Structure 1
Amino acid sequence: MKFQELTSPRLASIERDQTLVVIPIAAVEQHGPHLPTGTDTLICTAVAEALEARLSAQVLLTPTLWLGASAHHLRLGATLDSQLTTYIATLVDVLRSVLDDGFLRVMLLNGHGGNLDPLKVALRQVQLTHPDTLLVGGCYWSVVDDLIQSTLQGDHKFVGHACEFETSMIMHLRPELIDADHVADAGELVTDQLNGLFVSRDMRQRTLAGCTGRPDLASAEKGKLLFEGIVDRLAATVQRLLAEPLGTEYADFVR
């Protein structure tokens, strides 16, 4: 079920307890010299739509929130950003809109690393006033850490930025948008960790050209394998979320 394709009476008829509302959130920002600025939105939307197609009777998919928390890319240009306070408030407003309409189970499906911290803040904030609901969120790729490690060939066996993973996904989904002449080894990534502490550095400080890892090792075949694995794992996750008990007390969750 797609939210924007349904009439208000049809939306009102949906069984609230047995439906998971999926809200894709992403970004539009520079993705190095070879990938389109909409990479995060393109991938996250494709994953979410494939998930809805798989479980159309159980998933209510909203339109993708394409504007993200991307301030750490601004100095590289080609980036649209929502300040953190604004972004958190936006997520809170969307979550409350869905919950106030009676839905009880909601997933923020994230496609941009910079959204993860504000996502958690928004979920925490809303849960305080809606303790009888199930609010979850995370990056779409987090369900396939093992597949990512076994599929990627470069040293960066994780999702970076315009990296081997994202380049492979776009090669699979939208190959015509890639500038193949500029697909190259991204060089060293300056760390944002020091003795267990987070070091705040933007992407102009951390990367040579706004990308990370080994996009030159990407392939459409890897992208297809990863995409299908992600949808499979997310579909299984949806089933678990629909079976998860709702409640406000410890005893509601201990069986």
Structure 2
Amino acid sequence: MTTPARPRSGFRLADLTWIEAADLIGDGLPVALPIGAAARAHGPHLPLGTDRLVVEAVAERLLARMPLLVAPSIGLGYHPAFMDYPGSQHLEATTFEALVVELIEGYLRHGAERILLLNNGISTEAPLRLAAQTILQRHGIRIASADLPRLHDDAASDDERDTSLLLAIAPALVRMDRLGETGDLATDDEPALRVLRQPLRLTPEERPGGLLNRSGAMADASAATAEKGERLLADMVEAIAADLRQLWPDL
């Protein structure tokens, strides 16, 4: 009797029945958790759900080329810097960390042994590292993490990067008439610190403890193009896939 071949592509868990999910988890397929804000300001030209749209696009491309189980996205996270912009939502770091730990433990309880965190955020990195450490201490399982903002050309601003990615993924959602608006960041009274770091709070109006940023964008994104976005997506997916195959050669 021959052993069934491992599938070459993956699946979205939300599309499966629980019986199908049990079989695939039992076959050892890694579970990928996309994490990206579904409600965070990105300036006047990008939707609040930009981070979620990007991480889900990366997850879709990964499952098309390797056997992964892609879990439903986590659309809320630790994003304190943007809370003054209407529509933005945020969880305290401890709440976000606990949420991720509980979700991972649910998949472990069902038999998963390999977990990948696809994180499209910067402020979420530290809580996710703590969550991964908690899983290691409790269960002896090492969580794999990919931080998407780290996987791009440092010469481009985050705003140009996000705009290029959205132009490639969902161009109809980019408000092209507002593309050239910059962050208008008021830093005249801020010292130019080279080593020390402080928490950042951006505000659309003058508010105590905040840095005035009327648009919510940090830089001019007018150089963004769909072609740049496609290259970014391809590079991110290739880098993550290469590392996953080195970490888990059976993929």
Asked if TM exceeds 0.5, the reply is yes
2:91 corresponds to which of 69, 82, 85: 82
Q: Secondary structure at the match of 1:134?
A: coil
- Amino acid of the structure 2 residue aligned with 1:99: L
Q: Give the whole-Å Cα distance in 1 for the aligned partners of 2:226 and 2:191.
A: 30
1:120-175 alpha-carbon deviations (Å, 9 max, x no partner): 111111210111x2312231243x34xx24xxxxxxx2553xx0000000011111
Q: Give the whole-Å Cα distance in 1 for the aligned partners of 2:70 and 2:191.
A: 34
- Residue 215 (structure 2) aligns with: 209
Q: Give the whole-Å Cα distance in 1 for the aligned partners of 2:54 and 2:191.
A: 25
1:14-42 alpha-carbon deviations (Å, 9 max, x no partner): 26574221100111211110000000001
- Residue 102 (structure 2) aligns with: 93
- Residue 206 (structure 2) aligns with: none
- Amino acid of the structure 2 residue aligned with 1:116: E
- Residue 64 (structure 1) aligns with: 73
1:114 corresponds to which of 123, 127, 140: 123
Shift of the 66–15 alpha-carbon distance from structure 1 to 2, 3 Å rule, reads: closer
Q: Secondary structure at the match of 1:29?
A: coil
- Amino acid of the structure 2 residue aligned with 1:8: W
- Are 2:10 and 1:4 equivalent residues in the alignment? no
2:139 corresponds to which of 113, 130, 151: 130
| Contact 1:20-1:105 at 8 Å conserved across structures | yes
Structure 2 segments unaligned to the other structure (5+ residues)? 1-10, 204-210
Q: How much has 1:13 moved relative to structure 2?
A: 1.8
- Residue 200 (structure 1) aligns with: 199
- Residue 44 (structure 2) aligns with: 33
Q: Secondary structure at the match of 1:63?
A: coil
- Number of residue-to-residue matches in the alignment: 229
Q: Give the whole-Å Cα distance in 2 for the aligned partners of 1:5 and 1:192.
A: 51
Q: Give the whole-Å Cα distance in 2 for the aligned partners of 1:4 and 1:192.
A: 49
Q: Secondary structure at the match of 1:25?
A: strand
What TM-score results when the alignment is normalised by the length of structure 1?
0.82
| Contact 1:140-1:230 at 8 Å conserved across structures | yes
Structure 1 segments unaligned to the other structure (5+ residues)? 150-156, 245-255
Q: How much has 1:196 moved relative to structure 2?
A: 2.0
1:184 corresponds to which of 180, 183, 201: 180
- Of Structure 1 and Structure 2, which has the larger fraction of its residues in helix? 1
1:36-60 alpha-carbon deviations (Å, 9 max, x no partner): 00000011111111111111xx211
Identity of aligned residues (%): 28
- Amino acid of the structure 1 residue aligned with 2:166: I
CA RMSD of aligned residues (A): 2.3
Q: Secondary structure at the match of 2:24?
A: coil
What TM-score results when the alignment is normalised by the length of structure 2?
0.83
- Amino acid of the structure 2 residue aligned with 1:50: R
Q: How much has 1:232 moved relative to structure 2?
A: 1.6
- Are 2:231 and 1:241 equivalent residues in the alignment? no
Q: How much has 1:91 moved relative to structure 2?
A: 0.5
Deviation >4 Å, runs of 4+: 15-18, 187-193
Q: Give the whole-Å Cα distance in 1 for the aligned partners of 2:107 and 2:167.
A: 34
Moved more, 35-44 or 118-127: 118-127
- Residue 227 (structure 1) aligns with: 233
- Amino acid of the structure 2 residue aligned with 1:234: I
Q: How much has 1:213 moved relative to structure 2?
A: 2.5
